[in-house]
Structure 1
Amino acid sequence: MSTPLALAITQGDPAGIGPEIVAKAFRDAPHDMRGCFVVGDVATLRRAASCVERPGQPSLPVARLDSLADLAHVPLRCLPVWQLPELAGEPVPWGRVSAEAGRAAAACVVWAARAALRGKVAGLVTAPLHKEALAAAGVAFPGHTELLQAEAAHHAGVPLAQMPVRMMLASDELRTVLVSIHVALRDAIAAVTQDNVLQTLHITQVALSRSLGRPPRIAVAGLNPHAGEGGLFGREEIEAIAPAIAQARAQGIDAHGPYAPDTIFMRARNTPQRAGEFDVVVAMYHDQGLIPVKYLGVDKGVNVTLGLPLVRTSPDHGTAFDIAGRGVADAASLIEAVRIARRLAPG
């Protein structure tokens, strides 16, 4: 019987809380973390393990892997690290944006993505990186999603446009998928086209049909207040969103809307008292879709990239430079990201 492939966890920006929430996850949720390893720097992870130590409790050992096969022999409550040679050295200072930290974070993502694309790992879970640090390092992409899209397109030998991806933020109460991701608001409005909305509906349908085991019920939020109020507050709903929904429905996708953005997320919310009317809401831009999920609980939300030929999840929070190194960051979202990655991974 073959051994299941491991999950790779990237350390994130080494100046942020990524390394310490990774350390906490291996310490506090050892069974969830079995079969996982961290891509990063041993010295950085040892510093993180030290900062989360608790009085009277044993310290968390950090083990350097010489091969992925060694992972089978790593005991519970031990943090296994795949050392990237270019990261070796003194850890960067906590809580400070730097090109060095941005390069380190990007290098971890690239290594893990290539390993997943080659079938060496089951998927990747990415700890938070800092977009300003990425830019300072000269990385051409503003975040994880775009960087992973570029790696996947290169691996497949296709132009970037032929590897469309979308961001989904998911918790046990609400899922949202975004038409556009990390762009300025004026560019996000321009991205609300019939083709982009239809493509988002197709990607959402394929991804959630696989994870739910049935076609999803999809609600589509409007762009404008009251979904445009029949054209009084904007015509995007009439000229782009509604035609995309009609086209999707004609193709067998269970999509509905466009609905007023200020109420549709409440209708889709799933609670113990009331099942949501929809499995997912397609939102028109970043903040429209992410604010509702994060308001319900940052510790519960998980970022899932849809459309890639690999599994990628992430906690739904950032690097939190203001508390980095204090050992107080919450690892719950990272642990949930690992659980979801396992459910999505093939085999």
Structure 2
Amino acid sequence: MTPPLALSIGDPAGVGPELAAAAWAVRKTERLPLFFVVGSSRLVEQAVRARGLNVPVCAVKAPDEVADCFDGALPVLDIGDLAYTPGEPCDAGATLALNALSAATGLVRSGAASALVTGPVAKSRLARIGFTYPGQTEYVAQACGISPENAVMMLAGPSLRVVPITVHVSLRDVPDLLTVELIRNRAAITAAALSRDYGIVRPRLAVAGLNPHAGEDGRMGHEDADIVAPAVALLREAGIDAVGPLPPDTMFHAEARAGYDVAICMYHDQALIPLKALDFDAGVNVTLGLPIIRTSPDHGTAFGIAGTGTARVGPTIAALRMAGECATRRMNS
């Protein structure tokens, strides 16, 4: 049997705890794999009551206990305790979130859990307790012995997969950050991951241009001819099915999407705007290039609606399902 998934609780003042319970409540109709929450069983119980769910909680001491109780209760591995204060983040909550992330990552690395699903955190709160990483992605990569530069963020939904080459940086800095090697490396990692974890034998990569009309022969910028096109040529020389640079404004309609498996984009919003327009409630943040599987719901802590019962569970369900599918493929490969 594939080991269960480890779901880190995220910031306990956010929507993570209640969405974990809401996902468990529909585990049968959604055919979700075994999973357990890493956090605080008492806090999750309080979140369950706040959302008005009928979800029993079962404290477990190790992942190998999850299968025995999953049908009747949501398993929670206690690594700390804290009162449930939805919408009121604090340093103690950030500490619990970080400890849960560390513990869950360790369990997946050891093989006790088959994949890591991370709940949303508040980066500003983590920074207050000494967290020096830009986000959970970089932390998990470092814990796995992978350079953060080789951890690639992919956003995936039913309609579209996208990879931004540059992520959380100012738009004015993007042209200076783009290099032939950066594009080639991240696109190659993406192709390998799609083959290994998604069962796509020969992934098709559509590489977006940086500028309008992909530069239009230099009239709208030289980066597409000087940086993007040589990177695509190197990918093709390596046997990867890549095309580009393509005009970004014509890449995301239905007919165009049918021609590729992933869109390689040059900056954050070029990738995330079409993904969220098409798959807002089913988008999953996946980290490629790691020795473990890591997914996350594609939304933040949503402190403003935590505890109100209005947060949508779709992204959490999608992140759990995708992690389980990828874990199964790795186990069977």
- TM-score normalised according to structure 1 size: 0.89
The alignment status of 1:78 with 2:73, answered yes or no, reads yes
Hey, what's the Cα distance between the residues in 2 that align with 1:121 and 1:322? 32
Kindly report which structure 2 residues correspond to 1:9-48, keeping only aligned pairs within 5 A, or say none: 9-30=7-28, 32-48=31-47
1:235 to 212, 222, 233: 222
Q: Give secondary structure in 1 for the equivalent of 2:253.
A: helix
Hey, what's the Cα distance between the residues in 1 that align with 2:206 and 2:121? 31
Q: Give the deviation of 1:269 after TM superposition.
A: 5.9
Q: Give secondary structure in 2 for the equivalent of 1:80.
A: strand
Identity of aligned residues (%): 40
Q: Give secondary structure in 1 for the equivalent of 2:304.
A: coil
For structure 2, list consecutive stretches of 5 or more residues without a partner in the other structure: none
Change in Cα spacing, 1:205 to 1:38, as seen in structure 2 (3 Å) is same
The alignment status of 1:144 with 2:151, answered yes or no, reads no
Q: Give the deviation of 1:17 after TM superposition.
A: 0.7
Q: Give the deviation of 1:27 after TM superposition.
A: 1.0
Hey, what's the Cα distance between the residues in 2 that align with 1:121 and 1:241? 39
Kindly report which structure 2 residues correspond to 1:184-263, keeping only aligned pairs within 5 A, or say none: 184-210=170-196, 211-263=198-250
The AA in structure 1 aligned to 2:156 is A
Kindly report which structure 2 residues correspond to 1:161-176, keeping only aligned pairs within 5 A, or say none: 164-176=150-162
The AA in structure 2 aligned to 1:167 is M
Q: Deviations over 1:109-140 (max 9, x none)?
A: 12111211122210111121122222222211
Hey, what's the Cα distance between the residues in 2 that align with 1:165 and 1:233? 31
Q: Give the deviation of 1:33 after TM superposition.
A: 4.1
Change in Cα spacing, 1:184 to 1:148, as seen in structure 2 (3 Å) is farther
Q: Give the deviation of 1:101 after TM superposition.
A: 2.5
C-alpha contact (below 8 Å) 1:124/1:341 kept by paired residues: yes
Show structure 1 runs of 4+ deviating over 6 A.
Answer: none
Hey, what's the Cα distance between the residues in 1 that align with 2:208 and 2:192? 19
Q: Give the deviation of 1:277 after TM superposition.
A: 1.2
The alignment status of 1:284 with 2:266, answered yes or no, reads yes
Give the equivalent residue in structure 2 for 1:51: 50
Give the equivalent residue in structure 1 for 2:5: 7
The AA in structure 2 aligned to 1:207 is A
Hey, what's the Cα distance between the residues in 1 that align with 2:88 and 2:181? 40
Give the equivalent residue in structure 2 for 1:68: 63
Give the equivalent residue in structure 2 for 1:131: 123
Change in Cα spacing, 1:73 to 1:321, as seen in structure 2 (3 Å) is same
Q: CA RMSD in A?
A: 1.8
Give the equivalent residue in structure 2 for 1:117: 109
Give the equivalent residue in structure 2 for 1:273: none
Hey, what's the Cα distance between the residues in 1 that align with 2:62 and 2:8? 17
C-alpha contact (below 8 Å) 2:195/2:202 kept by paired residues: yes
Hey, what's the Cα distance between the residues in 2 that align with 1:34 and 1:267? 31
C-alpha contact (below 8 Å) 1:171/1:300 kept by paired residues: yes
Q: Give secondary structure in 2 for the equivalent of 1:226.
A: helix
Q: Deviations over 1:43-78 (max 9, x none)?
A: 221111112225xxxx21111102222212204251
Change in Cα spacing, 1:14 to 1:277, as seen in structure 2 (3 Å) is same
Q: Give secondary structure in 1 for the equivalent of 2:270.
A: helix
The alignment status of 1:335 with 2:317, answered yes or no, reads yes
Hey, what's the Cα distance between the residues in 1 that align with 2:278 and 2:35? 28
Q: Give the deviation of 1:89 after TM superposition.
A: 3.1
Hey, what's the Cα distance between the residues in 1 that align with 2:236 and 2:292? 28
Q: Give secondary structure in 1 for the equivalent of 2:216.
A: helix
C-alpha contact (below 8 Å) 1:125/1:337 kept by paired residues: yes
Give the equivalent residue in structure 2 for 1:319: 301
Change in Cα spacing, 1:29 to 1:113, as seen in structure 2 (3 Å) is same
Q: Give the deviation of 1:24 after TM superposition.
A: 0.3
Count the aligned residue pairs. Answer: 327
Q: Give the deviation of 1:329 after TM superposition.
A: 1.0
Hey, what's the Cα distance between the residues in 1 that align with 2:295 and 2:202? 21
Hey, what's the Cα distance between the residues in 1 that align with 2:127 and 2:255? 36
Hey, what's the Cα distance between the residues in 2 that align with 1:284 and 1:268? 21
For structure 1, list consecutive stretches of 5 or more residues without a partner in the other structure: 271-275
